[in-house]
């Protein structure tokens, strides 16, 4: 013996969603999508900023390694004091790399000196323009010993 169950809909009431319920559901989904898209946009911007920071760090380390290689090849006296800057295009971004080599006092290694103290300070600053100007700074010391 099998029974068949039928769902009864009360008379005067239709099955389905009303127009008001559909509009309410679309509104809620729209707010959710706007929130998701703004989060996605922020994540993309952060990823791009991190990529530029890594590239700037790489360019700064590259310059410091060049100076250290010059010392290995030509000795301490082969590294001249002074400053230089260069523009490097990497991908779709331009980076400005500024390098400064100067003598420093042997007592604090920060204060500049007008004569050779046996210590040279190498400062490398890499800057670029993104949403706001940003930069990476690195420093190394070279000794005559």
pLDDT in tens, 132-145: 789 999 999 999 88
Mapping DSSP onto H, E and C, the string for 73-104 reads HHCHHHCCCEEEEEEEEECCEEEEEEEEEEEE
Judge whether 116 and 106 are in contact, CB under 8 Å: no
pLDDT in tens, 71-83: 999 999 999 999 9
- Position 9 scores a pLDDT of 57
Q: Which residue numbers in the chain have pLDDT < 70? A: 1-15, 46-47
- Position 8 scores a pLDDT of 60
Judge whether 81 and 142 are in contact, CB under 8 Å: no
């Amino acid at each position: 013996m099998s029974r068949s169950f039928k769902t009864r809909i009360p008379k005067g009431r239709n099955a389905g969603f009303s127009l008001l319920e559909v509009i309410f559901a679309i509104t809620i989904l729209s707010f959710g999508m706007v929130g998701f898209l703004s989060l996605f946009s922020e994540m993309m911007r952060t990823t791009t900023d991190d990529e530029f920071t890594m590239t700037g760090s790489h360019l700064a380390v590259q310059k410091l390694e060049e100076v250290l290689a010059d010392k290995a090849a030509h000795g301490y006296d082969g590294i001249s004091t002074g400053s230089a800057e260069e523009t490097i295009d990497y991908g779709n971004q331009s980076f400005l790399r500024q390098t400064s080599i100067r003598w420093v006092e042997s007592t604090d290694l920060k204060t500049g000196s007008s004569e050779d103290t046996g210590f040279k300070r190498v400062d490398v600053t890499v800057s670029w323009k993104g949403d706001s100007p940003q930069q990476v700074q690195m420093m190394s010391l070279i000794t005559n010993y």
